[in-house]
Structure 1
Amino acid sequence: MKILFSKEYDDSSELLELSGLNDADIKITHLWPSLRSATRDIINIIGKDNYQKAVDLYEAGSNDEFLELVRYPLVLDAFRKFSPLTDIKFTENGRQFRADDHHKAPWEWQINKSDAEMEKAYYASVDELISFITESEEYDSSEYMLQFTGLYVPNLRVFQDFVHINNSHLLYYKLAPAMRYFEETEIINRVGNKFAEYKEQNNSRIKKLIQNACVHYAMSDGINKLSNQLFPEGLMKAERTGRKATNGYDVESTALHYDRIKDSALLSLEQEIRKTKTVYVPRRLLNFDDKDGFVST
């Protein structure tokens, strides 16, 4: 696997030129394992073919926009993985916090805020890269991007008909497995052998209710399982009680909000499905003759 940076120079000036975040005297060899890990993550998202195009551009010395869009999230991801390892140094007297005469050690809340902002910036840069690929005729969507096209909620546009997630392709891709699970468990149990038929119906109330339930289930599941930095701030409730995220959001309350909407959509779906079922009431057989007391001749 080729890395879009060079060990030709011992320092990390190549990374500094892209991000402006780091001191150039940090040795590139120290960052190399984090760059390698970050590269694998990007390849999983954009695909090997697209990444190879970036490699070709890098080796040709190109300043192409696509190359920059691939390299920038690599730098952010590498530093957010590398930085926590350098906050503390290992000495013969045990672990000690790094500090010197020119730099003061940050408070814990400052480190947490910095980590959160760098994580958000990383996700935003990956989203920018995905958007570039999906809008370009030169680059093809990867298998990762196309694996959910068969769902009731097959893309970001449909998802945002129910919950707007700031046009985040990355968040949609991370929530889509939960929607697939929900379809295979809760939805198919309710619609039975009409599962495929309802999926083909455009703008039907039943299909809309299924999509609504899937989206809100995925939101609740994602808020409980994924990093809160993936979610736009307007979709999260401020922390009051219960288990809180490190950024001050109330995870339990927010997840419950989406669960309630999901449950309401499922109830409406069940009511709509009952309406579609024809109830057969057989005619009562008249089985009497002139000997019965209520028959006159």
Structure 2
Amino acid sequence: MKLIFNKNNAGNAELKEHIGFLDNGTSFENLKRFIRNATLTVQDIIGKETYDVIQAMYEAGNDQEPNIFYIDALQDAICIEAYRRYVPSNDVGHTVNGRRMRVDDHEKQAFEWLLDRDNDNMERMYYQSLDQLLTTLESLASWKATDQYKKLNALFVSKTQDFQEFFDINNSRYLLLRLTPGLRQAEQMAILPRLGKDEMTALKEDASQKAELLALVKEACVYWALSWAMKGRLTVTLFPEGVLQRFVGERTTTQGKQPPMGNEYAWAAQEFMQDAERLLLRIEESVAPEVEESIEASEPNYTFGFDDDDAFVTT
């Protein structure tokens, strides 16, 4: 695997460009193994083919628009993910006498709650960089040819604006991508049994005559996927601030964090599922007349030529 860094031994400058707060003592060589691991992680998100296309642009020195935007966005995501993996082990000194706290005359070790906040902040920075990367890739043909892109765009809720209409995710393309399994589960377990395969296909291909039904389906899928996510499948830091953010107490250890009160995650999952079920009931009610008409039309009329007014059959 070729890295998208350190061409002409400029790795240190590239790191500093993307992580401005990086200490001058931290070199490319320090982060190299973490960059390699982060690259594999990002490859899983955008597909190896897409990565290879952008890496080839980098190798060729093709830094004209829009290529430079692809390169910068990809480097940014990989840099931040690599650094946040590296920094926990760099917080302490690894000496012949074991691990030691780093302290000198001008610096002192940060409190654990400060480290927690910084870790959360860097995690959010990583997700934001992925959002920017995915936004940039919308104009790249190799990205649109990936399985990740095709699977998402085959769903009723395939755009951030589809999700935003019912729940605020800050137009996060990465979060929408991570919610794909939940959205797919909603379609297979909740929508398909109610609409049937033919109706689902028709609704995806042309919803112009059934806009109200499509809106109900999309909203039900959104709340179903949120319930799916809250059951421990996605980290809460993926979501916008204020959505079940864990409370970090100002104490000296990470174990001092106050636990969620009343199991908010399970409560939220239940609330979202109740919203989804209410919408599914409305979907059932909206398609019921069509189902009844279909059944009536398919029922044979066994009259055998009898007249209801004759006396042939008596009770």
**What's the TM-score once normalised by structure 1's chain length?**
0.81
213-222 or 195-204, which deviates more: 195-204
Q: CA deviation at 1:131?
A: 1.0
Letter in 2 for 1:54: I
Which residue of structure 1 lines up, in the alignment, with residue 201 of structure 2? 196
Residue in structure 2 matched with residue 246 of structure 1 by the alignment: none
Q: Aligned Cα RMSD in Å?
A: 3.3
Contact 2:227/2:268, CA 8 A, preserved across alignment? yes
Conserved in 2, the CA contact under 8 Å of 1:45 and 1:145?
A: no
Q: Does 1:260 align with 2:264?
A: no
Whether the aligned pair in 2 keeps the contact of 1:11 and 1:25 (CA below 8 Å) is no
Which residue pairs with 2:46 in the alignment? 46
User: Is the contact made by 1:220 and 1:255 (CA closer than 8 Å) also made in structure 2?
Assistant: yes
How far does the alpha carbon of each residue in 1:167-210 deviate from its partner, in whole angstroms, 9 at most, with x for none?
A: 11111111011111221122222223433234334152333222
Matches within 5 A, 1:7-18: 12-18=12-18
For 1:2, the equivalent position in structure 2 comes to: 2
Classify 1:87/1:290 alpha carbon distance in 2 versus 1 (closer, same or farther; 3 Å). closer
Separation of aligned partners in 2, 1:291 and 1:252: 62
Once the 2 structures are TM-superposed, how far is the Cα of residue 235 of structure 1 from its aligned partner? 4.5
Match of 1:29 in 2: 29
For the residue of structure 1 that corresponds to 2:179, the secondary structure is helix
Q: Find the counterpart in structure 1 of residue 289 from structure 2.
A: 275
Residues matched between the structures, number: 286
Q: Is the 8 A contact 2:5 2:11 kept in 1?
A: no
The corresponding residue for 1:148 is 152
What aligned pairs does 1:128-277 form with structure 2 within 5 A after superposition? Answer: 128-134=132-138, 136=139, 140-143=143-146, 144-193=148-197, 194-202=199-207, 204=210, 205-224=212-231, 225-233=233-241, 235-236=243-244, 241-243=261-263, 250-277=264-291
Tell me, yes or no, if the aligned pair for 1:151 and 1:180 is still in contact at 8 Å.
yes
Question: What residue identity is the alignment partner of 2:290?
Answer: T
Bigger shift: residues 138-147 or 153-162? 138-147
One-letter code aligned to 2:238: L
Residues 260 and 70 of structure 1: CA distance in aligned 2, closer, same or farther (over 3 Å): same
Superposition deviation, residue 71 in structure 1: 0.9
Matches within 5 A, 1:90-105: 90-91=94-95, 93-105=97-109
Q: Which has the higher contact order (CA 8 A, sep 6+)?
A: 2
Following superposition, the deviation at residue 57 of structure 1 comes to 3.6
Q: Check conservation: 1:209, 1:265, Cα contact below 8 A.
A: yes
Q: 1:291 to 1:253 in 2, by over 3 A?
A: closer
Structure 1 spans left out of the alignment, 5+ residues: 244-249
Q: TM-score, normalised by structure 2?
A: 0.77
Cα shift at 1:19: 1.4
**Structure 2 segments unaligned to the other structure (5+ residues):** 248-259
Deviation of 1:214 after TM superposition, in Å, equals 0.8
1:24-67 CA distances to partner (integer Å, 9 max, x unpaired)? 22243331121011112222333344433432343344552332
Provide the identity percentage: 28
Counterparts of 1:68 and 1:10 in 2: how far apart (Å)?
14
Deviation per CA, 1:79-99, whole angstroms, max 9, x where unpaired? 111111222344555444333
